[in-house]
Structure 1
Amino acid sequence: MRASLHRRFTAPLAVLAASSFLLVGCSGGADPNDPNAGGGAGDVGTADGVVNVYGTINGDEATLLEKSWADWEKANDIDIKYTGDKEFEKQIGIKVQGGDTPDLAIFPQPGLLADTVASGKVQELPADALANVKEGWSEDWQKYGQVDGTQYGAPLMASVKGYVWYSPAKFAEWGVEVPKTYDDLVAVSKTIQEKTGSAPWCAGFNSGEASGWPGTDWIEDLVLREAGPDAYDKWVAGDTEFTDPDIKAAFDSVGTILQDPSMVNAGYGDVKSINSTAFGDVATNVANGSCALTHQASFFEGFLTAANNADGKPATVAEDGDVWAFLTPPMAEGDPAAVTGGGEFVAAFSNDDDTAKVQAYLASADWANSRVSLGGVISANKGLDPANAGSDLLKSAVEILQGTDTTFRFDGSDLMPKSVGSDSFWKGMVDWIDGTDTDSVLEEIQAGYTS
């Protein structure tokens, strides 16, 4: 979703790293404040001091977003009006077809951005925004916002996926260490199960219309680690089908945990309860110690700090705290660090001066440092000071994103066409957890390419 970082998340204010959604009123009729409402999105807009921005981010996270640009708004005499919509992925297409487009949209998936660019309504990045993108972002991040070599989207925020969250104190009590390989992870899980007599893992795939996305993150982690970055790239590009042995092998590896009733679903039920458990709700059991392990992105820290530990106090996330995290380990000890992640991209439907100024600012290191310093999120902008990140975990995540030795790959489902990445892949993961055999699920997901 996601998890690009913001496409699927709902959380309270204390949930610093969680992204959430609230329908503020932009998915209905044309916005009377939008100078382009009802007209073609490619028309030249009139700079009137108002720039409408539409995205998935909402609630408390939207409050921080608006705070991040507040000083810049005043200095530049531009009013940025933000609207968040939990149905963005569906509504953006409807808006484009109906001519009810915002000035700027924050896309949570490069694949969805590419689909929208095909409408002919998305503007190429203006000069100042393009300059900021080239200065602040790696070539890989630039490419995620491109379609056929043309830059349409400017990177915004980011997340590091594939963290396994655990209790350092409990690990010491059980006599287990952070695993160095995936086989070690499975072995540690079995040891915990034997020592506690209960399932060590908890997971939640429920996320409304986006249910299933946490499972796609699992599969992507294993494809990258088992088959390698080249195979991952071919799979994401659609050159390798889901029915390929490499992809099935990733499902089998994930299944050693998620489909084993002795491994899941700690505190929530059996394997099938994964589908009925909201992805953020598992933070409760991880924080209070009734769930030993869960797999989730860097944003999950905010859900944990909003939950209580076993003593009824707010949980702490630190190496010596209630909860800490390690990256899903490689298949063999010594393999290069491989990380999946996500992010958002800002694209324009208007080309007036005010819109161009806002888009350029959001692509800058100045904005990245402003937003990250407010807590809960990170960015891959090269001009971001890691010290501005709100916690040790987020600081380490920034360093991973900026590290030259890290093999980074963008969330695969976010790069795939919408009919697969945010449709058949999500649905396939739900069916897989419900008990549909792997071969049938892989065929079902692959069929999304022809739907």
Structure 2
Amino acid sequence: MRFGARLVLAVITLAATATACGTPQDSGPRSHTTADCAPYADYGKHPGSVVTVYALNRDREADLFEETWADFADCTGIDVQYEGDGEFEAQIQLRVDGGNAPDVAFFPQPGLMERFARAGRLKPASAGVAARAKEGWSADWNGYATVDGTLYGTPLVANVKSFVWYSPTFFRDKGLSVPRTWTELMAVTEKIAASGVKPWCAGIESAEATGWPVTDWIEDVLLRQQGTDVYDQWVAHEIPFDDPRVLQAMDTVGSLLKNDRYANGGFGPARSMASVSFQEAGAPVLSGDCAMHRQASFYADLWPKGTEIGPDKDVYAFLLPGADASSRPVLGGGVFTAAFADRPEVRAFREYLASADFANARMGKGPFVSAHKGVDPANAATPVDRLSIQLLQDPGTQFRFDGSDLMPASVGAGTFWKGAVDWIGGASSLQVADSIERSWPRK
């Protein structure tokens, strides 16, 4: 689902209101850039203009975004005012309904973005933005941001969710090999448990989005057990949420995450994961209190400062295995840029964000993954980022987008997330799946 989240709230209400009224206010004198402005010539000059951005990302991740577009902003004259909010999913609707919509929003779920598009609140992508989207991404990726044949958004960030983070030193000391099949993964899990260490650690607390790490687990296992066709049918509600094949996937995940013998290493009993933040959940891997943490590629940026990533470093990751060693099912997610305004400076900013130049520049600032065709994996900040980009660019990868992000927002970011918390708390797979099925919007 999501990307981690980081920037103290910027004070932009006055500027956002002024922009909405057509009288953007500059936040103050700009420093004169020493950057080479030639790469930004195609975006034009927009002196004194303001573009407001609202997103989930805060703190360090937000700082890296702002550093990346700093030269673009100085060279074009656009004052990009960024606000990060850890409760983006809950607050964006209130912002829009209250007449305080941002110019640009970074949507972590296509389903949520679709809701605003269908309500007529989003602006269709301009010709320039659409051209960059077609050039940069596959039809599948652009399809996630298309509603009834109209492109509204462009991919900003991608991530591979099907990773298991582990300590190479721990595995070596225990005589363990990286598993290549699900059967081997279960054998490794049991061997670790027999040694007295809980093999899995997890945390599902995420403010208004609490529960999403569990939904990722269920989606990942369903994709491995049933393949892409059944997965697609489930996401599109062509089969019910409580289909026996979905229940099988839930029970498989439950055999790990709801099992006190296997979880929650470093924190307590399995149920403790409901109160552990997803940002902190992998820490016991470093201390040796747990052996494995299933989490997305973006977790590379959440390890404590100084943690080294690599096959012979502090932590590394392997692809959650499928039924056999040759299959490469990959669950992924992404953030999409969409706009509530359609002014020249907004179009210019969106075009820049849709470019390979932006993706490569952001990758040079720190951990970052993009599905843009123009991204060079060799420039990735970490080995896991490099592996992620290679998987996304490999035509043999069986890639599927995060199901909860594609489902109607009331389900994917609503009853599914909530149901996941109830399930960890002791509710049965059938109880939770049946409740989610009954919540699905009826046409």
Query: What TM-score do the two structures reach when normalised by structure 1?
Result: 0.89
Residue correspondence of structure 1 range 179-190 to structure 2 within 5 A: 179-190=179-190
The offset of 1:99, in angstroms, is 2.4
Residue of structure 2 equivalent to 1:20: 6
CA distance in 2, matches of 1:322, 1:434: 32
Residue of structure 2 equivalent to 1:60: 60
Residue of structure 1 equivalent to 2:255: 256
Alpha carbons 2:198, 2:289 under 8 Å: kept: no
CA distance in 1, matches of 2:290, 2:428: 27
Q: Is 1:396 equivalent to 2:381 in the alignment?
A: no
1:99-157: per-residue Cα shift (whole Å, max 9, x none)?
A: 22111111111000001112212111001111100000011100011111210011111
Q: Is 1:320 equivalent to 2:312 in the alignment?
A: yes
SS at 1:325 equivalent: strand
The offset of 1:25, in angstroms, is 4.3
SS at 2:415 equivalent: helix
Contiguous gaps of at least 5 residues in structure 2: 24-45
Residue of structure 2 equivalent to 1:345: 336
CA distance in 1, matches of 2:315, 2:303: 8
CA distance in 2, matches of 1:167, 1:349: 44
Q: Is 1:177 equivalent to 2:162 in the alignment?
A: no
SS at 1:346 equivalent: strand
Letter in 2 for 1:23: L
Q: Is 1:101 equivalent to 2:93 in the alignment?
A: no
Alpha carbons 1:206, 1:277 under 8 Å: kept: yes
Letter in 1 for 2:200: W
Distance 1:36 1:218, change over 3 A: farther
CA distance in 1, matches of 2:433, 2:8: 33
CA distance in 1, matches of 2:207, 2:265: 22
Alpha carbons 1:287, 1:304 under 8 Å: kept: no
Residue of structure 2 equivalent to 1:311: none
Residue correspondence of structure 1 range 214-225 to structure 2 within 5 A: 214-225=213-224
The offset of 1:30, in angstroms, is 7.7
CA distance in 2, matches of 1:392, 1:150: 36
CA distance in 1, matches of 2:136, 2:114: 22
Letter in 2 for 1:84: G
Alpha carbons 2:17, 2:100 under 8 Å: kept: no
The offset of 1:249, in angstroms, is 1.0
Residue of structure 2 equivalent to 1:203: 202
Alpha carbons 1:37, 1:100 under 8 Å: kept: no
Higher relative contact order (CA 8 A, sep 6+): 1
Distance 1:351 1:369, change over 3 A: same
SS at 1:343 equivalent: strand
The offset of 1:33, in angstroms, is 4.0
Residue correspondence of structure 1 range 359-370 to structure 2 within 5 A: 359-370=350-361
Distance 1:21 1:425, change over 3 A: farther
SS at 2:200 equivalent: coil
Residue correspondence of structure 1 range 129-144 to structure 2 within 5 A: 129-144=129-144
Contiguous gaps of at least 5 residues in structure 1: 10-18, 39-45, 307-313
Alpha carbons 2:48, 2:77 under 8 Å: kept: no
CA distance in 2, matches of 1:107, 1:25: 21
The offset of 1:407, in angstroms, is 1.0
CA distance in 1, matches of 2:207, 2:194: 34
CA distance in 2, matches of 1:266, 1:283: 9
Residue of structure 2 equivalent to 1:153: 153
Identity %: 44
The offset of 1:21, in angstroms, is 5.5
Residue of structure 2 equivalent to 1:81: 81
SS at 1:178 equivalent: coil
Residue of structure 2 equivalent to 1:31: 16
SS at 1:320 equivalent: coil
The offset of 1:93, in angstroms, is 1.4
SS at 1:272 equivalent: helix
Residue of structure 2 equivalent to 1:282: 281
The offset of 1:47, in angstroms, is 8.9
The offset of 1:278, in angstroms, is 1.2
Query: What TM-score do the two structures reach when normalised by structure 2?
Result: 0.91
The offset of 1:37, in angstroms, is 7.8
1:191-225: per-residue Cα shift (whole Å, max 9, x none)?
A: 01112x13111111111121111001101101111
Residue of structure 1 equivalent to 2:293: 294
1:59-114: per-residue Cα shift (whole Å, max 9, x none)?
A: 12111111111111122121111111222212221222232211111111100000
